[in-house]
Structure 1
Amino acid sequence: MGGRSLLIHSRHFQRYQLSDEHPFNPLRLELTETLIKAMGLWPEKALEARGATFEELVLFHSPAYVNAVFSLGEKGECSLGPEAWGLGTEDNPVFPRMGQAAALLVGASIQGAELILAGNAEHVLNYAGGLHHAHREQASGFCVFNDIVLAIKKFCQAGWRVVYIDTDAHHGDGVQWAFYDNPQVLTISLHETGRYLFPGTGKITELGQGAGYGYSINLPLEPFSDTASMLECFQLLLPPLLEAFKPDVIVSQHGCDTHYLDPLTHLHGDMHLLRAYAELIHGYAHQYSGGRWLALGGGGYDIWRVVPRAWTLLWATLSHQLCLPVVPASWLEQWQGGAPVPLPAMMMDPEDMVKPIPRQQEIREKNLANAQRVLQNAYPIIAGIIG
């Protein structure tokens, strides 16, 4: 393994635009790219993404669904009703050339898996990926195709054991269900409880089925959980699970909608949380999976203040580069005129930026108790099977 860190990119990623007013705004990708470049962190040569082929897409999605996505995208509209494939809904409207745009995001993640499998990279980032809600025959939660499942399937075909870590505020349901009966893949998702947030799944009791029983790990977090609580739970759960499972590679999804500024969720994290997730997973990759790590983007709906900083910090961590503390003046000048909010001048949030709520200690205690319950339920099962 050469120890190289690679970034996969395409200017065509922004064609995945569900609608003009949709919260899953591809402008977040350009904001991230320009911030990485302004910080002087952009690689000398980012790898150009390729589109996934039909044969690759049907390794998970049904041929009928794949054909429908491309066909409807050519028409630019859905006349079948929202019950057809989950398309034509408010969350997942049909948009022009939808198939090609979605396949490009998938192809980039598959490409990352191939690079790691071949030993041509140690760490790979595709921040345009991370579409964890798509199911075999249904678009869901802004996700048309599931790039994560298809990248993991590449590793599985090679006989590798995969740990999937999902830190998005929304449960990684599409990935979980795809491998729910597969002991080759351990899925771990920390997310806001589905009592109040889409997709409503991710309960502690969702442990897998058949041969995969014990290989699905979920920690639903209380609304308004803060950075300290989320990191406490993360650091309690991950090391013993990784030690027991002994993965060949880590695949991680870095949705940054756990930040308290996110308009669609109710968690109270900050930039320290998002950087810590990246740093911890980086360390776990070197400790438990021989350094092999495929990192992907995900959700994040404050596209101006949160997403660019979060994914710039992720790339800096993944590529072993120092990220300076100040947001470059050139980036602020480039974007402030079009931004609806003042842009942050620093890469990290001030320590007192997130104000604690009266129930904070109660929330932390409940999260910790749930994390301990998860560990008691899941770790003995996995250790028993492996050992």
Structure 2
Amino acid sequence: MWDEGVTGYDFGAGHPMDPVRLALTMRLVEALGVDRTPELTVAAAKAAGDSTLRLVHRQDYVDAVRRASLDPAAAEQHYGLGTMDDPAFAGMHEASSLIAGQSVGAAEAVWGGQALHAVNFAGGLHHAMPGSASGFCVYNDAALAIARLLELGAERVAYVDMDVHHGDGVQAVFWDDPRVLTISLHEHPRTLFPGTGWPEERGGDEAEGSAANVALPPGTGDAGWLRALHAVVPELLGAFAPDVLVTQHGADTHFEDPLAHLTLSVDAQRAAAVAAHDWAHEHARGRWVALGGGGYAVVDVVPRTWTHLTAVAAGAPVEPTAEVPEEWRREVYARTGEAGGPLRMTDGREPAWRGWAEAGYDPADALDQAVLATRRSVFPAHGLLP
């Protein structure tokens, strides 16, 4: 899903959410020829209208976004607008609803059988709440895509959030809905926004076990992160048996990201995309909607990570050792004034991890403690632990 208009989602100079990351990702997709893969179609959806936005958001909030879009100086901060994280800007409603429309369009295409996999790397704005903006997110396109799938007839949707920040908005929307399983793997809430995502958060009274949270120690790298991911997600997906898998691939887990404290490589992020693809085929009949998310190393990390994601979804994965085309590096200079940029599609790592079942649990290891806390909290509700 791509429309150049999504680059209008622009909070202004100096804000970490620089829309150049979206443009550079699409240009890298094109420079590597991923967009010419026979199985891949580049499509654009219309902006989400009010009736679609109301699947998740309150009408009074949508109206407030529209007012702020017309007059940014009059943004109402009690709606989370006009804040340091979410400054109001002209065209805010139009750009935000366009991004939401791409994710909803992706969900519709997958559910309707027009596509087996669909990617909207401009999406993944997982912090927005029904009645307020939060954490650089105005409309929660991930929640809207899930809500649309339910409206179309999906009985169970699984959402796996791999952003460094907790997927709090999506969890909040579906907290009491047993039809939606939300799994979030993120840096520990003691050390990072939004301060939620504790292993004890496992869904409302009518949806016990519908939320799973893995709160990782700061400094977690490739091996620990992948160990945690594989120690929690596949078993829960197997028990839940979703009709569709929706994944969020925030690139802010990377060691170069300026806003967080995990130390993943692009190679581990690529491995997560491959895993998500495989899980969709194993547990959701191949139906997969993949979204972007955070990511603030806008030249070195985000374009490579989401190009890998797009290529994996297209069935034409890019080899990590592939050279970054010189034409793209010239595009980086033209758009940012930065010379250079990454030379290859890899950080030079070959991620490997110890499987949970095979390696056993180390009670002295902080990463294993985090994983065990999640398993003990959520797995019994799915019949996975006594």
Answer yes or no: is the 8 Å Cα contact 2:122–2:292 preserved in 1.
yes
2:355 corresponds to: none
**Secondary structure at 2:158's aligned position in 1?**
strand
2:97 corresponds to: 103
User: CA–CA distance in 1 between the matches of 2:92 and 2:28?
Assistant: 27
Answer yes or no: is the 8 Å Cα contact 2:67–2:75 preserved in 1.
no
**Secondary structure at 1:311's aligned position in 2?**
helix
What does the per-residue CA deviation read over 1:277-316, in whole Å, with 9 as the maximum and x for residues that have no partner?
1000100000000000000000000000000000000011
User: CA–CA distance in 2 between the matches of 1:120 and 1:49?
Assistant: 13
1:4 corresponds to: none
CA 114–351 in structure 1, closer or farther in 2 if over 3 Å, else same: closer
User: AA paired with 2:10?
Assistant: Q
CA 341–370 in structure 1, closer or farther in 2 if over 3 Å, else same: farther
1:270 corresponds to: 265
Task: Quote how far apart the aligned CAs of 1:377 are.
Answer: 2.3
Structure 2 residue corresponding to 1:125, chosen from 119, 123, 130: 119
1:297 corresponds to: 292
1:227 corresponds to: 222
What does the per-residue CA deviation read over 1:240-298, in whole Å, with 9 as the maximum and x for residues that have no partner?
10111010010000000000000001101001110011000100000000000000000
User: CA–CA distance in 1 between the matches of 2:181 and 2:108?
Assistant: 20
Answer yes or no: is the 8 Å Cα contact 1:278–1:317 preserved in 2.
yes
**Secondary structure at 1:77's aligned position in 2?**
helix
1:56 aligns with 2:52: yes
Answer yes or no: is the 8 Å Cα contact 1:73–1:94 preserved in 2.
yes
What does the per-residue CA deviation read over 1:207-239, in whole Å, with 9 as the maximum and x for residues that have no partner?
111111111000011111010000011111111
CA 352–319 in structure 1, closer or farther in 2 if over 3 Å, else same: closer
User: AA paired with 2:347?
Assistant: D
Answer yes or no: is the 8 Å Cα contact 2:64–2:75 preserved in 1.
no
**Secondary structure at 1:312's aligned position in 2?**
helix
Task: Quote how far apart the aligned CAs of 1:77 are.
Answer: 2.2
CA 42–212 in structure 1, closer or farther in 2 if over 3 Å, else same: same
1:333 corresponds to: 330
User: CA–CA distance in 1 between the matches of 2:32 and 2:75?
Assistant: 46
What does the per-residue CA deviation read over 1:8-38, in whole Å, with 9 as the maximum and x for residues that have no partner?
1101001110112211011001100111111
User: CA–CA distance in 1 between the matches of 2:274 and 2:55?
Assistant: 32
Structure 1 runs of 4+ with >6 Å offset: none
Task: Quote how far apart the aligned CAs of 1:339 are.
Answer: 4.5
User: CA–CA distance in 1 between the matches of 2:197 and 2:317?
Assistant: 35
- The answer to which of 365-374 and 130-139 deviates more is 365-374
Where structure 1 has 5 or more consecutive residues not aligned to the other structure, the ranges are 1-7, 354-361
User: AA paired with 1:65?
Assistant: Y
User: AA paired with 1:332?
Assistant: R
What does the per-residue CA deviation read over 1:171-199, in whole Å, with 9 as the maximum and x for residues that have no partner?
00000011111110000000001111110
What does the per-residue CA deviation read over 1:79-105, in whole Å, with 9 as the maximum and x for residues that have no partner?
54x3x2011101001100111111001
TM-score (norm 2): 0.92
1:24 corresponds to: 17
Alignment of 1:59-78 (within 5 A): 59-78=55-74
User: CA–CA distance in 1 between the matches of 2:375 and 2:340?
Assistant: 42
Answer yes or no: is the 8 Å Cα contact 2:332–2:338 preserved in 1.
no
TM-align CA RMSD: 2.0
Task: Quote how far apart the aligned CAs of 1:62 are.
Answer: 0.7
Task: Quote how far apart the aligned CAs of 1:346 are.
Answer: 0.8
Task: Quote how far apart the aligned CAs of 1:341 are.
Answer: 6.4
Where structure 2 has 5 or more consecutive residues not aligned to the other structure, the ranges are 352-361
- The answer to which of 324-333 and 281-290 deviates more is 324-333
User: CA–CA distance in 2 between the matches of 1:363 and 1:132?
Assistant: 32
1:347 corresponds to: 345
User: AA paired with 1:19?
Assistant: G
User: CA–CA distance in 2 between the matches of 1:363 and 1:168?
Assistant: 26
1:249 aligns with 2:244: yes
User: CA–CA distance in 1 between the matches of 2:268 and 2:4?
Assistant: 29
Alignment of 1:118-267 (within 5 A): 118-157=112-151, 158-267=153-262
**Secondary structure at 2:110's aligned position in 1?**
helix
What does the per-residue CA deviation read over 1:105-138, in whole Å, with 9 as the maximum and x for residues that have no partner?
1111111111111111100000100000000111
User: CA–CA distance in 1 between the matches of 2:337 and 2:318?
Assistant: 23
User: AA paired with 2:15?
Assistant: H
What does the per-residue CA deviation read over 1:309-335, in whole Å, with 9 as the maximum and x for residues that have no partner?
000000111111141411112211232
User: CA–CA distance in 2 between the matches of 1:45 and 1:62?
Assistant: 33
CA 18–364 in structure 1, closer or farther in 2 if over 3 Å, else same: farther
User: AA paired with 1:35?
Assistant: L
**Secondary structure at 2:139's aligned position in 1?**
coil
* Number of residue pairs the alignment of both structures matches: 369
User: CA–CA distance in 1 between the matches of 2:186 and 2:299?
Assistant: 22
Answer yes or no: is the 8 Å Cα contact 2:329–2:340 preserved in 1.
no
Task: Quote how far apart the aligned CAs of 1:363 are.
Answer: 11
**Secondary structure at 1:211's aligned position in 2?**
coil
Task: Quote how far apart the aligned CAs of 1:46 are.
Answer: 1.1
User: AA paired with 1:123?
Assistant: H
**Secondary structure at 2:48's aligned position in 1?**
coil
User: AA paired with 2:33?
Assistant: G
Alignment of 1:317-328 (within 5 A): 317-324=312-319, 325-328=322-325
Structure 1 residue corresponding to 2:33, chosen from 23, 32, 40: 40
